[in-house]
Amino acid sequence: MKKRPLVVVTRRLPDVVETRMRELFDARLNLDDAPMSQAELIEAVRAADVLVPTVTDKIDAAVLAQAGPNLKLIANFGNGVDNIDVQAALTRGITVTNTPGVLTEDTADMTMALILAVARRIAEGVRIIPEDKWSGWSPTWMLGRRITGKRLGIVGMGRIGQALARRAKAFGLSIHYHNRRRVPQAVEDELEATYWESLDQMLARMDIVSVNSPHTPATYHLLSARRLKLLKPDAIIVNTARGEIIDENALARLIEAGEIAGAGLDVFEHEPQVNPRLLKLARQGKVVLLPHMASATHEGRIDMGEKVIVNIKTFMDGHRPPDRVLPSML
């Protein structure tokens, strides 16, 4: 009987996924779900044939330098791979895979929810009644902003950006986008989307900006202090991609000064720590903060796990896994 590969999983996954992994592989699970330290990750890469990390596990060159000879695959449980030094892995002959596509609809749903939450002051409203601060309806109280007829600028028109655009179009928003590459004409026609080659020019004209691009060295602080200053004073910005794409301090400063109307953030630069200035703005009702939950659905997590399993099984059967990631793709 062929020896089953040792698969080390760094965090708890849905029961159905863990059970299937136990059936197929020699799976070492993290039953208490405590995040692994760097020392524990090094111990894992020394022993494993396959490592299954999540987006919060930093698999950098220092960790990979300690990898044992048996480690041949890192099957990331996540769409992004900014937590992994893909080039260092490739240099050591280690294949990296991810789980693209399965979180598209969930993330687009939450992005649309954040747009509505900020524009219509939903998070503030939710607190009013439990805190016994409602004295009755008034024509000038808790006024938000209508989103129908407004311009939405999407930064990153990949799967999630396009899924968001379809939702936003149904809400009557005008779709604009900036992307590394222009999408096919058929997609633009379907979404009635306007392409902006210049991110600066797009930002200056939008009512709502949504960040939907991956985090790479090229997108770190893509929305810098200079670019954030281009936004209109009544504009809002939402981010369900990666916190590092926005200069958080600059964003907080501009919202405090009334130069940006508000923000909805599901991701942060230094997770799980959240910028104290953003926390203060949340208490003031000027920003909506969520704990990195845009992709958090039962269905999405199971789909991710199934992709991880397919990637491992395909690789172990001697074939190229369907979701291999190469440095040139980042």
Per the annotation, the verdict on 306 as an active-site residue is: no
Per the annotation, the verdict on 178 as an active-site residue is: no
* pLDDT of amino acid 235: 98
Q: Are 263 and 240 in contact (CB under 8 A)?
A: no
Average pLDDT over residues 179-200: 97
* pLDDT of amino acid 72: 97
* pLDDT of amino acid 80: 84
Residue 79's pLDDT band, with cuts at 50, 70 and 90, is: confident
**pLDDT tens digit string along 303-317?**
999 999 999 999 999
Average pLDDT over residues 228-244: 97
Average pLDDT over residues 238-252: 97
Q: Are 77 and 304 in contact (CB under 8 A)?
A: yes
Count the neighbouring beta carbons within 10 Å of the beta carbon of residue 184: 9
Q: How many whole angstroms separate alpha carbon 67 and alpha carbon 46?
A: 5
Per the annotation, the verdict on 271 as an active-site residue is: yes
Give which of 169, 177, 217 is closest to 198, Cα–Cα. Answer: 177
Residue 217's pLDDT band, with cuts at 50, 70 and 90, is: confident
* pLDDT of amino acid 250: 98
Query: Does the pLDDT of residue 330 top 60, yes or no?
Result: no
Residue 68's pLDDT band, with cuts at 50, 70 and 90, is: very high
Query: Which domains, from first to last, does the chain contain?
Result: 6-101+298-329 (3.40.50.720), 104-289 (3.40.50.720)
- CA-based R_g, the chain, Å: 22
* pLDDT of amino acid 119: 98
Q: Tell me, what DSSP letter sits at residue 245?
A: G
* 277, amino acid identity: R
Residues, the chain: 330
**pLDDT tens digit string along 109-142?**
999 999 999 999 999 999 999 999 999 999 999 9
Query: Does the pLDDT of residue 329 top 70, yes or no?
Result: no
Average pLDDT over residues 91-107: 96
Q: How many whole angstroms separate alpha carbon 136 and alpha carbon 78?
A: 45
* pLDDT of amino acid 139: 96
| Residue 175, helix vs strand vs coil | strand
Strands (E) in 6-116, as ranges, are 6-9, 26-28, 50-52, 73-75, 95-97
Angle formed by the axes of helices 276-283 and 248-256, nearest 10°: 40
Q: Which of 271, 277, 306, 324 is catalytic?
A: 271
The Cα-based distances of 69 to 65, 297, 321 in angstroms read 11, 36, 20
Q: Which of 4, 292, 306, 324 is catalytic?
A: 292
Query: Does the pLDDT of residue 240 top 90, yes or no?
Result: yes
Give which of 293, 257, 263 is closest to 278, Cα–Cα. Answer: 263
Query: Does the pLDDT of residue 202 top 70, yes or no?
Result: yes
Q: Which of 20, 178, 227, 242 is catalytic?
A: 242
Q: How many whole angstroms separate alpha carbon 73 and alpha carbon 59?
A: 12
